[in-house]
Structure 1
Amino acid sequence: MPPLRRRPVDLVVTALIVVAVVVAAVGIWYFSSARRTTLTPPTASPAAQPYPAQVPARLVHRWTAPSTATRSPQVTDSVVLTGDGGVVQARDPRTGQAIWRYERKIPVCAVLSAWSPTTPTALAAYANSRGCGEVTAIDAHRGTRRGTRSSDADKTVTLTSDGGYVLSIGPTRLETWGSNLVRGIEYGRIDARVKPDLGRHDGHGCRLKSGMTAGDRVAIIEHCDGDPGYRLTVIGAVLDKDEKIPSYGSTVITSGTAFAPPVVVGMSDSAIGVYDGGANTPEPTAAAIRTFDSDGAETGRHPVPGGAELPAGSESVAGEGLVSVWTGAATAVLDAISMVPRFTVAGTSGPGVALGESMLIPDPEGYLVVDAATGRRTGQIPVSRENPEVRDPIIPAAIGDGIVEQRGTLVSVYGP
């Protein structure tokens, strides 16, 4: 049998296939996020910061950096994360120098430190034409990519986590993700519902006001079409075996919507804490921390000093078995399991951060030191703050012997 010979047409077809493959590869690269991404890895691994045996006697300014993409300090045991413009950085807590840097040509909407200390991860949500749904996960210490995801999202989102599922929530929709970035649920505005859940509350026609996740559940304050007041809804963080969102409870908890909505300020596996300024009632009542069980049934109302709404920029801080929130009139400290207030401290400028048996609470002069169990004042640490003209709430976090503060769009670190 004579050997097969290539005809000219075979060579032309082969060339066309090669060209098509090259064009497709170039097209994928051109339109991918990688083409517009710069990731500068660290030259050395950051060291874990040892925590002091006692409260520091003084705090001196170390550095300040802009961070428009965070609402509270995002830290691991080794780095401070900041996000501004299109840049996310892991910074040395002592010097502020970038340990690694991730940059894209699109704005970063939100940055979260997640899954520490087991797998410390920086989550960065970037904005594209579909909203703030282009997410990159980066090893917070090594500066290497761990994964990406992209989905529909609102133009503004907040990222939160209790160490398990991450919640991304905007004004009209929310999602949860696991550590593999696989979506657990989507709720609210869904443009293409695969399985409409007829007859069940699914967030359609609702405006989402605040939310948190704990364990396998999500608590949401929302206002839905036709409701006379704001609603507390508790749903599952992951689909059930029938690929539906588990619904544990949904109840209207105010009798009006003329004033600011209540805010979810804390959540555990067994309880939900909600700040309610008391204005959305026929007869205005005192501000309170309202507590609910994990199904959304109310279990108590605990008056605290405060106004009709939380101050803009107020964020709760959780740690060491406590949750604290600044109401504008005082810092309320709650039990992290029951969400029942333990004590309040007046004359403060933000929530507190627990350090062993003490809690440091920011005030205009520095930090009040109080007993973490009783709220009894035991000391004062003077601080000469950078940019003292900034009047935003001071949201603190601890890293090693330093205190990280977020005030507005600035992150500052102070240490002995």
Structure 2
Amino acid sequence: MARIRPERRTRVDLAVSAAIVVVLLVVGLVIWLQSPVRHSDSVQAAAPVPDVTPSTTVPDRLIPLWRARSDATDSPALSRSLVVTADGGTVIGRDPTTGGARWQYRRDLDLCAVLAAWPSTTNEVLAAYRNSRGCGEVTALSGSSGKRSGSRSSDADDRIQLVSDAGYVVSQGTTRLETWGSNLVRGIEYGRVDAPVKPGVQPGRTGCRLLSSAIGGDRIAVIEHCGTEPGYRLTVLGAVLDKDEEVQQYGSSVITDGTTGPPPVLIGMSSSAIAVYDGGGNRPSPPSDAPGGLAPPAIRQFSTDGVPTATNTVTGPQRPPVGVVPSSGGGLTSYFTGQATVVLDAQNVRPIYQVPGAIGTGDVMAGQLLLPTATGISVRDAATGRELRSIAVNREGRGAEPVALRVLGSTVIEQWGSTVQAYGPA
């Protein structure tokens, strides 16, 4: 059998091969230098932290346990087992009773917003960082171990708010929003779309300023003001593209006759209804029967097609405090207007009662509602709002900021401003 002679190689062949290798090495180096992994520092838990067992009683007394700074959250971010704080470029999963770090993730970018999403299912922490394209550099972390589970990068505004329900997350800025599933795959983008993949998929409005958003099931609601329209608009969209790969709009209408006053604020949404706080700074549309056309502060309800259904007067100012986000737990949703805390049924988002004198949003513990007050924590019958007793707590260093209260096991966690404070049974 004749021996096959090796393929002849010239100097040119060798030079080209060497050039290809160099190019691949340079490309690989550039990708590595620019990758999130290259610019991150991750310390994971040795093993996933076990879920916290819900408390069966409300303590008679509470004492301060620990305190931390969290600039990138507006209310306590809770996974199934840990309290998540976020400051600068660092996200920390903390033991609820000691405040000790069980895991930590750091980037050399500034955090825009951090959200503990889907605690009952995938239990992830979403950290949105700011880069040259806005707040669209997002990393998903396991809420129990800190392990990096995914990432995405897209165009975004320089400031955003993250809102979630059981299925999707909304990332909303003033000019655009996106929805994501738990796999971080985008559902829709709405508003400013600089490089549309498919033209003509957006509703026809332009020049819109997005003001607040909420999500319920497979729909999202947005309060916006578009162009020279005479009032603020409520728009209801599908959380994912329809079968024609277009943004599906279920309803959109102007709900105030004027924009000189503060805009209404979305405070709750379920699969069947939408709740909006309207401070009454503009005439409502449809018109009110109130003298002069202005109406008192109210919770206005709409169907998930954006059709008005009911209005309930509440105590509050025309402009609610900045940074207050609704809190849901135990079948209830609470919202602080600035003068009272309104408690709604989380399923139909109808107001059940309001608590004047409360200073923020609350949570359910052992079947009872805990609300922050100026002197401590009010323990109330969750169904009626009747006060059962009060627990004194010391909020040293707090000014006039609203307080957001959450519960994890036997620990009560509050946040005011950038301060997160944990309390435990004495």
Give TM-score, length-normalised by structure 2: 0.94
The 1:307–1:99 alpha-carbon spacing in structure 2 relative to 1, beyond 3 Å, is same
Mapped partners of 1:204, 1:136: distance in 2: 31
Q: State the 1:2 CA deviation.
A: 4.2
Structure 1 segment 370-381 matched on structure 2, within 5 A? 370-381=380-391
Mapped partners of 2:275, 2:114: distance in 1: 24
Residues 105-138 of structure 1, C-alpha deviations (whole Å, 9 max, x = no match)? 1101000011112211010000011100000011
The 1:241–1:204 alpha-carbon spacing in structure 2 relative to 1, beyond 3 Å, is same
Q: State the 1:51 CA deviation.
A: 1.8
The residue aligned with 1:248 is 250
The 1:3–1:320 alpha-carbon spacing in structure 2 relative to 1, beyond 3 Å, is closer
Q: State the 1:47 CA deviation.
A: 2.9
Mapped partners of 2:204, 2:422: distance in 1: 42
The residue type paired with residue 228 of structure 2 is G
Query: CA contact under 8 A between 2:43 and 2:146: conserved in structure 1?
Result: yes
Deviates more, 1:215-224 or 1:307-316: 307-316
Equivalent residue of 2:125, what SS?
strand
Residues 182-217 of structure 1, C-alpha deviations (whole Å, 9 max, x = no match)? 00000001112333338x735531000100111000
The residue aligned with 2:406 is 397
Mapped partners of 1:357, 1:99: distance in 2: 29
Query: CA contact under 8 A between 2:54 and 2:366: conserved in structure 1?
Result: no
Do structure 1's residue 303 and structure 2's residue 313 form an aligned pair?
yes
Equivalent residue of 2:396, what SS?
coil
Mapped partners of 1:202, 1:309: distance in 2: 30
Mapped partners of 1:10, 1:171: distance in 2: 56
Pick from 47, 50, 69: which aligns with 1:47? 50
Query: CA contact under 8 A between 2:361 and 2:404: conserved in structure 1?
Result: yes
The residue aligned with 1:284 is 294
Query: CA contact under 8 A between 2:330 and 2:367: conserved in structure 1?
Result: no
Query: CA contact under 8 A between 1:188 and 1:202: conserved in structure 2?
Result: no
Mapped partners of 1:186, 1:203: distance in 2: 14
The residue aligned with 2:203 is 201
Mapped partners of 2:350, 2:271: distance in 1: 14
Mapped partners of 2:237, 2:208: distance in 1: 15
The 1:293–1:15 alpha-carbon spacing in structure 2 relative to 1, beyond 3 Å, is same
Equivalent residue of 1:35, what SS?
coil
Mapped partners of 1:177, 1:284: distance in 2: 38
Query: How many residues were matched structurally?
Result: 414
Mapped partners of 1:105, 1:118: distance in 2: 30
The residue aligned with 2:415 is 406
The 1:10–1:381 alpha-carbon spacing in structure 2 relative to 1, beyond 3 Å, is same
Mapped partners of 1:202, 1:92: distance in 2: 48
Mapped partners of 1:308, 1:155: distance in 2: 27
The residue aligned with 2:87 is 84
Structure 1 segment 163-312 matched on structure 2, within 5 A? 163-197=166-200, 201-281=203-283, 283-312=293-322
Uncovered stretches (5+) of structure 2, i.e. residues with no partner = 284-291
Query: CA contact under 8 A between 2:55 and 2:366: conserved in structure 1?
Result: no
Mapped partners of 1:127, 1:369: distance in 2: 40
The residue aligned with 1:336 is 346
Structure 1 segment 75-114 matched on structure 2, within 5 A? 75-114=78-117
Do structure 1's residue 73 and structure 2's residue 73 form an aligned pair?
no
Q: State the 1:410 CA deviation.
A: 1.2
Query: CA contact under 8 A between 2:297 and 2:315: conserved in structure 1?
Result: yes
Q: State the 1:6 CA deviation.
A: 3.2
- % of aligned pairs identical? 50
Residues 255-296 of structure 1, C-alpha deviations (whole Å, 9 max, x = no match)? 111111000000000000000001102632210000001100
Query: CA contact under 8 A between 2:214 and 2:266: conserved in structure 1?
Result: yes
Mapped partners of 2:143, 2:310: distance in 1: 40
Residues 27-65 of structure 1, C-alpha deviations (whole Å, 9 max, x = no match)? 111122221111111234323222221111111111111
Residues 230-279 of structure 1, C-alpha deviations (whole Å, 9 max, x = no match)? 00000100000000111110010001111110000000000000000011
Equivalent residue of 1:204, what SS?
coil
Query: CA contact under 8 A between 1:46 and 1:92: conserved in structure 2?
Result: no
Equivalent residue of 1:34, what SS?
coil
Uncovered stretches (5+) of structure 1, i.e. residues with no partner = none
Mapped partners of 2:224, 2:162: distance in 1: 17
Equivalent residue of 2:7, what SS?
coil
The residue type paired with residue 117 of structure 1 is S
Mapped partners of 2:365, 2:6: distance in 1: 82
RMSD of aligned residue pairs (Cα, Å) = 1.4
